[in-house]
Amino acid sequence: MQKFLFLLLSLVLLGPLGIDLYLPTIPAIALGLNSSEALIQSTISLFILVLGLGRLSPARWWITMAASRSHWPASLST
């Protein structure tokens, strides 16, 4: 159980760590790709959107599993 919690905590912390590592390098990325900083900054919005969608999918699965388990005791009595 402790290994699972450690893995879960590590995965949760990867999102904010990715943003913290990405933000200071925006000027260098723009220079390396011969692009504007505004265009590179727009990828931050995409990153946050994907990060949010990634956190919604397990939550939806968990809600579905919890709902199906709540009907299990009732099915034993019928």
Helix/strand/coil (H/E/C) assignment for every residue in the chain: CHHHHHHHHHHHHHHHHHHHHHHHHHHHHHHHCCCCHHHHHHHHHHHHHHHHHHHHHHHHHHHHHHHHHHCHHHHHHC
- Within 10 Å of residue 26's Cβ, how many Cβ atoms? 15
Reported as a single tens digit per residue, the pLDDT across 20-55 is 888 899 999 999 999 999 999 999 889 888 888 877
- Indicate the pLDDT class of residue 76, thresholds 50, 70 and 90: low
Looking at the chain, the whole-number percentage of residues with pLDDT higher than 70 is 74
Structural domain harbouring 31: 1-51
How many domains does the chain fold into? 1
pLDDT of residue 14: 81
* 71 within some domain: no
Domain assignment present for residue 64? The answer is no
- The structure's pTM equals 0.55
> Is residue 70 a part of any domain in this protein?
no
